[in-house]
Structure 1
Amino acid sequence: MTERSDISVKKGSLYYKIRLIVQGLIFVIFICLLIYADPIAERDKATDIFLRLSPLSAIGTMVAAKEFIFQYWPAIIILIASVFLGRFFCGWICPLGTTLDITDKLLKRQRRRISYKIYDAKRLKYYLLAFLLLSLFISHQMVGWFDPLSIATNAYTIVIHPYFTSLINTLFNFLHKFYLISFVSDIIHSFFKEILFAFHVPFFRGHFVFLLIISAIISLGLFYKRYWCRNLCPLGALLALFSDWSLFKRVVGENICEGCDKCNVECKMGAIDNTGKKTQDGECILCMKCQDICPVGTVRFTYKQPKEQETTLDLTKRGFITACISSAVVAPLLSLNFRKKNSESNLGIIRPPGSVSEDKFLAKCIRCGECMRVCKTNGLHPTLLEADLSGMWTPQLIPRIGYCAHDCVLCTRVCPSGAITRLSKENKQRLAIGKARINRNRCIPWVGYARLPDLEKNWEDVNCGVCEEVCPVPTKAIHFNTYVHSNGKEIRRVYVREEACIGCGFCEKVCPVPGRSAIVVEGIQPQVMTSEIDIIENNLFPLSIDQWQRSGKPKAYAGKDKLFEYINGGAEVYLSYSFVQASTSTYFRKGTNNSIKVDIWEFGNSNDAYGVFTKDKAGQDVNIGNEASLYDNYLWVWKGRYFISVEPYRGNVSPDDVTFIGTSIVDDIPSGKVSLPDILKYLPEDGYIQGSSRYFHKKIILDNIYISDRFIDRNILNLSEQTDAVIADYESDKSNLPFKILIVKYPDKSIAEESFKNFVELRESWGERGISTNVLNTFEDSKGKFSSISYISNFIIAAFLVETREDSESYVSDVISKVKANKG
């Protein structure tokens, strides 16, 4: 019996089966981390572990950024493991390699039919590796374009997952039309949505480019299995260099091998020579296929490999020199961008929140698309040439497609390289990634204002304000400059407060102007916290006014919470108007102890600023701003959207002092064209006490005005932010005490009618005797004073504490006549 007859035929390799199971499980984990990236990142768990496994990305990013990046510790482990285990990463872990194994199997029949072969040279990947590594020292890093983990992530994120789920949706939406099977198909569709589709399935601009790339890589399998891995992959070349020292190598039993050539034919990497005995260790990915198919079981993997079974790859000096020269020529061209050179600022693209400076960002970003995958609004997309050639495939926010959600920080949690730094929600909400700009040639209110002569002939509503409504900044970065026409109509022209704008792009997303938005966000570099921008001074508080010097830096209290810090007891009254912020500062006269306190209150519109002025003012009128009032040494001024109060703080301050300070500050405050609130024109002139009117919206203002001998605790008049109201005092020739007229304008008639009924029911519940005439009801209280109320259209008109019934009803009727005349 021969030596060979003692050898049993090998039925398959256990290690090969283990490798298949491990490879499959790792691939499933990779897919799950992509599909469920959102909820995993929400829990602050790592979804970028695969991207941090790449030694090529680690080296490229660290060299380009000139810093050690600790996040890449898994890549260091892979590199060290490759020294001992060989190029195992490519055969056991790499998701792109697993994808090619699957597609190569599907292309097996077509591959057999193709008689010709394309160029097959394993040395190309080494030359490409040299090209990329040298470019790191010359220009920007390019490894992200060629790293297989970045390519795999982009392929599944931008192409495969969206396309597949779109196909599934289309199929089941079609099946839903058929009544007999729709019940079952809808259940299956819901299952897919929960399991496969995760939280959202975005589509990306430029996805067709990525489709061509991944299709090209897969199509190379028509000529050779794993063509990308064996000939082009620079990460494979890097791992191959370390694998030459591997302690785990392929060994063939010399006296047992039949020379059947099966292992050579089946080796997807072309690592085995024609005899089946020699192996290029740097090319072997330890897939164990040769061991599994060997009919005599002569193949094994061990640390002892005979010298005669080693074979090396033929790398030429000419090839490396060509690669280096190509890198020296091509790499600098990546920096060419004429838009960038011709601009004093930035390219204008919006980077994700937390992005480092642009140069550092281009050095660190590996173009993996992970941040784009988790973007909740589908706002992040790969750049093409917007950020020059060196920035191609890096992420940018396109607000017209999707804005940056105010409470989302997912992109800052999944970046594997530190190109996007981690942010807390609090810091992210204060981080400005861009600034909004108004295009007045497209903005609806501004275009309406520009054609004002035509508008006067045939008035139409040109107000919009959608951008202001959605602005997530607590103090609003978008405000209105209101133009009030002589006919009482308003045009609310929007403008952006750049110091408060965070560049989220929500305004651009919702702008109703078709095509290019009328409000456009431009990216800024570096990104800054809005708290670092001085939103207070804004030239409203000069450093000195003649002999008066400003004391320190002004303080600003923006938003509801901050206002309570400033005036805890009385903030609600000011918040009943469209409060934006209050700024305060003090001035002291040099050489004295005299000091003056100045408060500047900003509101959303001039009407509300006027309302606060009417609430606080006292004394005699003075000619400052739009209106002003001086009482002793206290001054109150209304100018545009601002209400200013000037009062003594310390020492002996005269009325002339506060008037001088107030006038100097008010002159520098912009007002725009303003007019009194429209509702004031309905007040009767006869008996009106000059300066007594109070303009307001909510019940809290009315609570501080005496209109009956009983307190009204319920909001029976349905006063809210949407109502305009005015109350004024009137003289009576029958009494020394004034009576009051109240006018309320509601959004619609039904609220006015309901408020009228509420008032009548309340007075009747007090036991007061009522006299009704049509929709005019009059009541007499316990002190013999009369109150009348009526409604017309969306108005409520009431008179309180009048001496006679005739006067009470007469004044109400007078207002009704004015409302009718105006509507007519």
Structure 2
Amino acid sequence: MSKYSDKYLGRRSIQFLFVIIVVLMGIQFFDFVQSVSESNLTLSTRPAGVEAFLPISALVALKAWLTTGVFDRIHPAGLVIFLAAMSVSFLWKRAFCSWICPLGTLSEGLALLGQKIFKRNFVPPRWLDYGLRSLKYLILGFFIFFIVVIMDGGSAYAFLQTPYNMVADVKMLEFFINMTWIGFTVVTGLILLSVLIENFWCRYLCPYGALLGLFGIISPWKIRRESHTCISCARCSSACPNHINVDKMQKVWSPECTGCLNCVKECPVSNTLKFGLLNPSFSLTPKKLALCVIGLWFGIIGIAKLTGHWETSISPEMYRMLIPMMDQFSHF
């Protein structure tokens, strides 16, 4: 039975929901930028959720908040989403990556395409796999060093107020609309590699996933295996998209575990694999995990909206002034 069988439609449904949300936000944000650029009298609404694609700005905002006590007003939704992703990962491994992240969903879809074309996904040799996996931690270390270690709170706050950061979301949109040959080559290369190698971006290059994986290590919920009922069929390991040898572990600590629960669903022996705490009564089925992830995610966003920590303080007039000049802004 394929590990991507119809049994997984529960997680797929949630992934599809978030893909729809992201696509609709992208269309709405494009309309907003167009209406601002063309100085339309009727201004489209800017969706705050696009700030989810500004993780570096969110990390700087987190540094500023922790050191100065001031919550970012330029891209507050970006910081809220960053905190929500860390909260989900702290509790339930890297569930953000496998249940919510649209890039994770795209990566899985490309792997499926590769399976259909080549009847398999290619797996690098172990020595190369370990070396490539270190890349995302090196990239994460670069950002942590310069933002968390080197940058002081005042500098972090000052960066948030720069014109560059104010239009970072618009510059991101501009990158995809008017992509250079270099950008097109890089994106095309990543797509092709993701077709050939399962979860290429997520496994080897995503610093966001690396950070969430570190939170996942200390997550109280983990995949736990009952050795006395295990029949050593290894179907759990075969079902794992991150190539974790689940059948050889009592408890999965790996930062690569995304809490997708493919292994739990694939196990043929009831209650042999569980996603839970030490107390068996606190284990989560895929359906319960789905409710927990969705509840926490939208709960945090709902609180942010109610407390005024969601919409940007940048006025439409400020956007009208900044967008025509954004090519002049740099992050230095």
TM range (shorter): 0.5 to 0.7
1:132 aligns with 2:143: yes
1:272 corresponds to which residue? 245
> Which amino acid is the alignment partner of residue 114 of structure 2?
L
CA distance in 2, matches of 1:13, 1:250: 21
2:22 corresponds to which residue? 30
Any residues of structure 2 matched to 1:425-824 within 5 Å, and which?
A: 425=317, 431=321
Higher helix share: 2
Residue of 21, 40, 53 corresponding to 2:13: 21
CA distance in 2, matches of 1:260, 1:428: 59
> Which amino acid is the alignment partner of residue 273 of structure 2?
V
Structure 1, residues 191-247: CA drift from partner, whole Å, max 9, x if none? xxxxxxxxxxxx4151x3222222222333355311221232211111122222223
> Which amino acid is the alignment partner of residue 226 of structure 1?
N
Secondary structure at the residue paired with 2:118? Answer: helix
CA distance in 1, matches of 2:60, 2:269: 44
CA distance in 2, matches of 1:89, 1:106: 23
CA distance in 1, matches of 2:260, 2:236: 12
**Residues 417 and 97 of structure 1, relative CA distance in 2, 3 Å threshold:** farther
CA distance in 2, matches of 1:88, 1:115: 23
Asked if structure 1 preserves the Cα contact closer than 8 Å seen for 2:222 and 2:251, the reply is no
Structure 1, residues 756-785: CA drift from partner, whole Å, max 9, x if none? xxxxxxxxxxxxxxxxxxxxxxxxxxxxxx
1:91 aligns with 2:83: no
Asked if structure 2 preserves the Cα contact closer than 8 Å seen for 1:271 and 1:284, the reply is yes
1:422 aligns with 2:314: yes
CA distance in 2, matches of 1:57, 1:305: 39
Any residues of structure 2 matched to 1:89-128 within 5 Å, and which?
A: 89-108=96-115, 109-110=117-118, 112=120, 117=125, 119-121=128-130, 122-128=133-139
1:163 corresponds to which residue? none
2:58 corresponds to which residue? 58
> Which amino acid is the alignment partner of residue 222 of structure 2?
K
1:258 aligns with 2:258: no
Residue of 207, 217, 234 corresponding to 1:234: 207
Residue of 74, 84, 87 corresponding to 1:80: 87
1:69 corresponds to which residue? 72
2:189 corresponds to which residue? 216
Asked if structure 2 preserves the Cα contact closer than 8 Å seen for 1:82 and 1:242, the reply is yes
How far has the Cα of 1:303 moved from its partner?
1.8
CA distance in 1, matches of 2:209, 2:324: 40
Gaps of 5+ in 1: 1-10, 142-149, 160-202, 307-415, 434-502, 506-521, 526-824
CA distance in 2, matches of 1:223, 1:280: 27
CA distance in 2, matches of 1:424, 1:46: 9
CA distance in 2, matches of 1:205, 1:124: 25
Asked if structure 1 preserves the Cα contact closer than 8 Å seen for 2:94 and 2:212, the reply is yes
How far has the Cα of 1:15 moved from its partner?
8.7
Asked if structure 1 preserves the Cα contact closer than 8 Å seen for 2:89 and 2:216, the reply is yes
CA distance in 2, matches of 1:54, 1:504: 21
2:264 corresponds to which residue? 291
CA distance in 1, matches of 2:190, 2:329: 37
How far has the Cα of 1:68 moved from its partner?
4.1
CA distance in 2, matches of 1:20, 1:79: 21
Asked if structure 2 preserves the Cα contact closer than 8 Å seen for 1:53 and 1:74, the reply is no
Residue of 159, 175, 178 corresponding to 1:204: 178
CA distance in 1, matches of 2:239, 2:93: 20
CA distance in 2, matches of 1:282, 1:523: 40
Any residues of structure 2 matched to 1:149-228 within 5 Å, and which?
A: 203-206=177-180, 208-221=181-194, 224-228=197-201
Gaps of 5+ in 2: 36-42, 157-167, 281-309
> Which amino acid is the alignment partner of residue 120 of structure 2?
R
How far has the Cα of 1:93 moved from its partner?
0.9
2:162 corresponds to which residue? none
CA distance in 2, matches of 1:116, 1:129: 22
Asked if structure 2 preserves the Cα contact closer than 8 Å seen for 1:250 and 1:302, the reply is yes
Structure with bigger gyration radius? 1
CA distance in 1, matches of 2:93, 2:121: 34
Secondary structure at the residue paired with 1:112? Answer: coil
How far has the Cα of 1:300 moved from its partner?
2.2
Structure 1, residues 700-754: CA drift from partner, whole Å, max 9, x if none? xxxxxxxxxxxxxxxxxxxxxxxxxxxxxxxxxxxxxxxxxxxxxxxxxxxxxxx
Asked if structure 1 preserves the Cα contact closer than 8 Å seen for 2:89 and 2:215, the reply is yes
**Residues 234 and 281 of structure 1, relative CA distance in 2, 3 Å threshold:** same
How far has the Cα of 1:46 moved from its partner?
4.7
Structure 1, residues 14-70: CA drift from partner, whole Å, max 9, x if none? 994321111111111111211232456776645241533776541135548986415
Asked if structure 2 preserves the Cα contact closer than 8 Å seen for 1:261 and 1:276, the reply is no
Q: Percent identity?
A: 24
Secondary structure at the residue paired with 1:301? Answer: strand
1:300 corresponds to which residue? 274
**Residues 14 and 100 of structure 1, relative CA distance in 2, 3 Å threshold:** closer
Normalised to the residue count of structure 2, the TM-score between the two structures is 0.63
CA distance in 2, matches of 1:79, 1:106: 30
CA distance in 2, matches of 1:276, 1:13: 25
Asked if structure 2 preserves the Cα contact closer than 8 Å seen for 1:263 and 1:276, the reply is no
RMSD (CA atoms):
4.2
1:249 corresponds to which residue? 222
1:589 corresponds to which residue? none
Normalised to the residue count of structure 1, the TM-score between the two structures is 0.28
2:295 corresponds to which residue? none
CA distance in 1, matches of 2:85, 2:259: 15
CA distance in 2, matches of 1:115, 1:225: 8
Asked if structure 1 preserves the Cα contact closer than 8 Å seen for 2:242 and 2:256, the reply is yes
**Residues 295 and 60 of structure 1, relative CA distance in 2, 3 Å threshold:** same
Asked if structure 1 preserves the Cα contact closer than 8 Å seen for 2:114 and 2:195, the reply is yes
> Which amino acid is the alignment partner of residue 60 of structure 2?
G
Which structure carries more relative contact order (alpha carbon 8 Å, separation 6+)?
A: 2
Secondary structure at the residue paired with 1:36? Answer: helix
> Which amino acid is the alignment partner of residue 69 of structure 1?
D
Secondary structure at the residue paired with 1:250? Answer: strand
CA distance in 2, matches of 1:16, 1:115: 23
CA distance in 1, matches of 2:209, 2:141: 13
2:303 corresponds to which residue? none
Secondary structure at the residue paired with 1:120? Answer: helix
> Which amino acid is the alignment partner of residue 37 of structure 1?
F
Asked if structure 1 preserves the Cα contact closer than 8 Å seen for 2:122 and 2:197, the reply is no
> Which amino acid is the alignment partner of residue 279 of structure 1?
V
**Residues 116 and 78 of structure 1, relative CA distance in 2, 3 Å threshold:** closer
> Which amino acid is the alignment partner of residue 29 of structure 1?
I
1:754 corresponds to which residue? none
